[in-house]
Amino acid sequence: MRGHTIFAVAASLVAAVTAQGLSAEELNSLPIPIIEAVPVGAARENITYDAGEAFDEAYGGFSDDVSARRVKRDADCAPQPAGSGPGSSPDTDTAFLSNSDYSSFANSAETPAGWSLVFKNKQAAISTSAYMGYKTYTSYSVAQCASDCLQMSACQSFNIFLERDPTVNPAAACADPTSTVVIKCSFWGVQLQSSALTNEGQYRNKFHVVIAGSNGYQVTSPSYDVDGFSGISTGRATINSPNQCDSYITFKSHTGPYDPNLCAADCLSERNNPAQYSGKVCRYFASYQLIKNGQVQAQICALYTRKWDASYAVNTGYHSGRDTYTIFQAYSYSLDSDPGNTECNNGVVTSTTTTTLRDSSTVRPGCSCNWKHLLTYKCRPPPPPPPPLLQLQPPQPQAQYVSNTKMINIH
């Protein structure tokens, strides 16, 4: 066990299922995602996600290589593409932000079937990872945005908004030109967080680019087919298997569009070289988005030797110093051809529905492959908890594991 609990019985039970919780060191080692915002202007941009190439890279153990986009600037005072949105009078940033037409577009928009509204009528646009490009429209059409997103591989969400843009490229000789209003829809390979509404525009010379009527939508119940695996959704909590079953192997991380197939590649790659993890063979994985302080940090793939059911999805996140990590869009998949047996090394046999003690005389008190059974005393109760421990000042930052029951510290 990697931590000490400061709570009573229930917390001591949770402590038995934290082996695969990420430590402060592991959290700090995760890749830094590239946070992107939609470029200013009335052009369009499309970034294609190649699922096959991404799978091959994950299987081969290559790190993600995301190159920064380079936005070409036109010459000083060069004409810019005109937008199709209605203008504001007078032609100022203040008038644009107070234009009731833009609020009406956003507030009256209907949410398409199969999509969920994340935020409505904001004066900022999304800046996050897994950017997949944008399009401009002649009308404020949420339905068109949704249709275009569905045509893109790995697109999960979109943000539609109106943007006040310059009619010419601002420079010293044209520092504050007249404006044009562009209706934009940006596309993303991750689900949206309202906390990622950080793009409030910018100044280009003396011209103020601002945003209004911003709505965000995401697929309500995204499903991910993974060849050779069967999966379930566990929502905002991910798997934590009991320590005594010694099922957890390791974790991998990815940036870019969220895709559980990358975790399948990690699992299959590990099966080809089990010696690196003491002979453990991957048969099951948990995939989820790890959110750090409201922004997608990475896709995490936790690998296991056997299948676990949704009752073990108790890990809802971590605290580390001033940072808060939460779990989002969690799925778990088992290998169809080899799901693994249900026997733990200490004599406890479990299935996805029941817990059976083979020989109660050899079972350590409180040892079970389903800690929830302990809470209802359906098997041997745990020993009395130790007295609360004084919390000493740690020599380095520590992470805290958050479950849907209690929180403990992980060193």
Residue 244 confidence (pLDDT)? 85
The DSSP bridge partners found for residue 229 are 335
Residue 262 backbone phi and psi in degrees, to 5: -65, -35
Q: Is residue 36 part of a domain?
A: no
Same domain as 241, residue 154:
no
Among 219, 237, 254, where does a domain finish? Answer: 219
pLDDT for residue 400: 44
pLDDT in 10s for each residue of the chain, 411 residues: 333 222 222 222 232 333 467 888 888 888 777 778 787 765 555 555 445 555 455 545 544 433 334 445 568 899 999 999 999 999 999 999 999 999 999 999 999 999 999 999 999 999 998 899 999 999 999 999 999 999 998 899 999 999 999 999 999 999 999 999 999 999 999 889 898 999 999 999 999 999 999 999 999 988 889 999 999 999 999 999 988 889 999 999 998 889 999 999 999 999 998 888 889 999 999 999 999 988 888 999 999 999 999 999 999 998 888 999 999 899 999 999 998 877 665 333 343 332 222 233 333 333 333 323 322 323 333 444 444 433 333 334 444 444 443 333 444
| Two tokens, residue 87 | 């203008």
Q: Is there a single domain that holds both residue 213 and residue 325?
A: no
The full 3-state SS of the chain, as one line of letters, equals CCCCCCCCHHHHHHHHHCCCCCCHHHHHHCCCCCCECCCCCCCCEECCCCHHHHHHHHHCCCCCCCCCCCCCCCCCCCECCCCCECCCCCCCHHHHHCCHHHHHHHHHCCCCCCEEEEEEEECCECCECCEEEEEEECCCCHHHHHHHHHCCCCCCEEEEEEEEEECECCCHHHCCCCEEEEEEEEEECCCCCHHHCCECCEEECCEEECEEEEEEEEECCCCCCCCCEEEEEEECCEECCCHHHCCEEEEEEECCCCCCHHHHHHHHHHHCCHHHHCCCCCCEEEEEEEEECCEEEEEEEEEECCCCCHHHEEEEEEEECCEEEEEEEEEEEEECCCCCCCECCCCEEECCCCEEECCHHHCCCCCCCCHHHHHCCCCCCCCCCCCCCCCCCCCCCCEEEEECCCEEEEC
In this prediction, residue 70 carries a pLDDT of 41
pLDDT, residue 101, reads 97
261 and 334 both lie in a single domain: yes
Number of domains in the chain: 2
pTM of the entire predicted model = 0.65
Q: How many CA atoms lie within 13 A of 219 on its CB side?
A: 19
Is 54 found in the same domain as 25?
no
* Inside any domain, residue 37: no
Place of tokens 């991957």: 282
Regarding whether 153 and 49 lie in a shared domain, the answer is yes
Crossing angle for the helix pair 261-271 and 51-59, to the nearest 10 degrees: 30
CA 3/CA 328 separation, integer angstroms: 24
Note whether residue 35 is domain-resident: no
Does residue 300 contact residue 222 with C-beta atoms inside 8 Å? no
Q: Given 155, 190, 219, which residue is the final one in a domain?
A: 219
Q: Tokens for 142, please give them.
A: 């949420």
CA distance 153 to 132: 10
Residues forming beta bridges with residue 281, ordered by sequence position: none
Identify whether residues 162 and 50 lie together within a single domain: yes
Find out whether 13 and 314 touch, Cβ atoms under 8 Å: no
Among 197, 219, 241, residue at a domain's last position = 219
Q: Are 207 and 266 contained in the same domain? A: no
Residues constituting the chain: 411
> Up-side HSE of residue 90: CA atoms within 13 Å toward CB?
2
**Is 295 in contact with 285 (CB distance < 8 Å)?**
no
Amino acid at 211: I
Q: So what's the pLDDT on residue 3?
A: 34
Q: What pLDDT is stored for residue 100 in this prediction?
A: 97
CA 229 to chain CA mean position, Å: 21
CB 264 within 8 A of CB 225: no
Q: Tell me, what's the pLDDT at 5? A: 27
Q: Which domain holds residue 114?
A: 45-66+74-219
* pLDDT recorded at residue 294: 85
Residue 317 in any domain: the answer is yes
